[in-house]
Amino acid sequence: MVFRAPGRVNLIGEHTDYNGGFVLPACIGFSCWVAAAPREDRKLVVHSENFNETVEACTDANHLRPTRKWSDYPFGVAWVLQEAGHLLRGANLYVRGEIPLGAGLSSSAAIEVAVTCALLHCSGYEIDRTKVPIYSQRAENDFVGARCGIMDQFVSCNGRAGHAVLLDCRSLEYRLVPFFDDIRLVVCNTMVKHAHGEGEYNSRHRECEEGVQRLSAALPGIRSLREVAMRDLEKHRDLLPEVIYRRCRHVITENERVPRAAAALCEGNITAFGERMAESHSSLRDDFQVSCPELDLMVNLASKHPGVHGSRMTGGGFGGCTVNLVNRAVADEFKRSIESEYHAATGRHPDIFVCDTSQGVERVPIDAGESALRGFAQ
C-alpha cells in the first residue's frame, strides 16, 4: 500500500499553534510518498530514495533511539505508536519526498503523517485523522527533539483540495474554508536558512511560556496566551519585560487576525485578507522578531507587483519562504519578475513554486503510487 501526505503553506496564524491559538494553513501539491509492506518479523526497514540509504531497527520502543538523521522521523513515529499502546508488526517502508527540504514547507510533518498511517495500516489499526497528527507531533517533540506545535501535522492530515483549514489548536476543532477562486498560492523561497533558527524557535516558545507565567500573577488560572485578551495584556504590561510583552502582543494580535482573515476568505474579500497578511508580517518582524532581511525583501518586492493581494513570511521564520496570493492570470509572470528582482538584489536564485491547495493524507491507488515510487522493490 502507498500513503501520500502533503506539505503545507500557512496563510496566517504564525507562532500561535503552540500557544493554543488559531491557524489557517492549506496543503500544497508537494508530498511525501510512503510505500509499505508488512513483514513477518518485528523489524522496521526503511529506505529513503532522497538519501539513497536503508536503515533498520526493531519496532520495540526500547530499541529505538534518535540518531539525529532523517530516519528519526519514521523511527520516532514507531516509538510513539508503541508508547501509545499499539503493537506494531514489522514493515518495509520506501520513502520518497518531493517537498523541498529545509524550506519551511513541512517536509518533516509529511513524512511523520505518511509513516504513521502506513504503520497503523500495516498492523491492522484504524487510521483516526484526529489522532494521527497528535502521534506525529509527539514523534517530532519527544523523539526528534523539536518543540513544534500541531499545525503542520494537522493540516497534512485534514487539509482538503480547494480549501484552507481554520484550526483551533486548543480544542483541535477545525473548519474547511473554501479558498479564493482564480488565486494561486505562490511560495517564494529566500534560499536562506539562518543557522540559529531552531534555537530561536525554542526560545520564542519559552518566552511565550514566561509571558503566561508572569501574567498569571494577575490572571490566575491562565494556561496559554490564547486566554489573554489585548486589554489584559495592556493592563498588566508592567508585569512583563519589554521583550516578553512584545512576544505576547504578537501572539494575541495574531490570534485576533486569524478569525478575521477566515471571515474575509468566506466572504471572498481578498483585499481584507491581504491586509491581515501584511499586519501579520509586520507583527512577526517587529514584535516576534522571527523575520530576516531576505524575507522582508521578498515581501516588499511582491507587494509592489500588480495582481498580488497578500504577501508574508510563512512558517517558523529566520529564512525559508514567503506566501503570496496572486491572480491566476499573472502568476507565471510574477514568478519570473521576482526571480530576477530577488537575484539582482541578493545574488541568490530563489526557488519559486506556483501552487494550488491540495488534499490531506490519503491512501493512493497502487498504480499511482508505483509510478511515483519507481524502484520500490517490494
Alpha helices in the chain (DSSP H): 72-83, 107-122, 132-138, 151-158, 197-215, 230-235, 242-267, 270-286, 293-303, 331-346, 366-372
Residue 97 CB, nearest distance to ligand GLA (Å)? 16
152 labelled catalytic: yes
Considering the complex, state which of residue 294 and residue 341 has its C-beta at the smaller distance from ligand GLA. Answer: 294
Residue 73 CB, nearest distance to ligand GLA (Å)? 13
What is d(CA 27, CA 49) in angstroms, rounded to the nearest whole number?
23
Considering the complex, state which of residue 9 and residue 91 has its C-beta at the smaller distance from ligand GLA. Answer: 9
Residue 57 CB, nearest distance to ligand GLA (Å)? 25
Residue 14 CB, nearest distance to ligand GLA (Å)? 4
Residue 41 CB, nearest distance to ligand GLA (Å)? 34
Considering the complex, state which of residue 36 and residue 323 has its C-beta at the smaller distance from ligand GLA. Answer: 323
Residue 326 CB, nearest distance to ligand GLA (Å)? 22
Contact 138, 57 (CB under 8 A): no
Q: Which long-range contacts (CB under 8 A, 24 or more apart) does 300-305 make?
A: 301/338, 301/341, 301/342, 301/345, 302/188, 302/334, 302/338, 303/278, 305/330, 305/334, 305/337, 305/338
What is d(CA 36, CA 19) in angstroms, rounded to the nearest whole number?
35
**Per DSSP, what are the bridge partners of residue 377?**
none
Cell 489584559 found at: 232
What is d(CA 362, CA 32) in angstroms, rounded to the nearest whole number?
11
Please give the grid coordinates belonging to residue 313.
Answer: 513570511
Phi, psi of 375 (to 5 degrees): 100, -5
Considering the complex, state which of residue 14 and residue 341 has its C-beta at the smaller distance from ligand GLA. Answer: 14
**Residues binding ligand GLA (CB under 6 A):** 14-15, 17-18, 148-149, 151-152, 315-316
Nearest CA among 111, 129, 106 for reference residue 17: 106
Q: Which of 17, 152, 168, 232 is the catalytic position?
A: 152
Considering the complex, state which of residue 151 and residue 352 has its C-beta at the smaller distance from ligand GLA. Answer: 151
What is d(CA 101, CA 328) in angstroms, rounded to the nearest whole number?
26
Residue 129 CB, nearest distance to ligand GLA (Å)? 18
Considering the complex, state which of residue 131 and residue 147 has its C-beta at the smaller distance from ligand GLA. Answer: 147
Alpha helices in 132-229 (DSSP H): 132-138, 151-158, 197-215
Contact 159, 165 (CB under 8 A): yes
Cell 486566554 found at: 227
Considering the complex, state which of residue 17 and residue 72 has its C-beta at the smaller distance from ligand GLA. Answer: 17
Nearest CA among 11, 50, 55 for reference residue 32: 50
Residues labelled as active-site residues: 152
